[in-house]
Amino acid sequence: MSRTRAERFDDLVHDEVRRVTGRWRRELAGVEFGVEEVPPVEPWADSADPIPLARLHPAAADRPARIVVYRRPLQARGGGDERDLARLVRDVVVEEIADLLGLSPESVDPTYDSPDD
């Protein structure tokens, strides 16, 4: 059975989250990860602002921290190459986790921003 482009993207994100959280299991316990098609339109945003590829929603009293990855902007930025898209997903997930943990992306994942898989 063939998987849709959206399902393959979800698999990429899931695999990357699983890979990184394996190393940071305790620190990321309770953090939620999700995929949405596009970021919400911010009424106060300047039209010159770049479209976000992901967003970190910090924890609040009534909800855990949540990292959301936006499928369409990432696919557009990744072009048509699956390897390029996989590297971009890796880097974006690592950047959001680094932001959450207050670390550099290279500390979270030594392969960050590397052309090699």
Distance of CA 63 to the CA centre of its chain: 19
In sequence order, which residues have a C-beta less than 8 Å from that of residue 115 and are 6 or more positions away? 87
pTM of the model: 0.89
Residue 70: per-residue pLDDT = 97
Residue 80: per-residue pLDDT = 76
Residue 48: per-residue pLDDT = 65
pLDDT in tens, the chain (117 residues): 688 989 999 999 999 999 999 999 999 999 999 999 999 877 666 666 688 999 999 999 999 999 999 999 999 998 778 899 999 999 999 999 999 999 999 999 998 987 765
CB 69 within 8 A of CB 92: yes
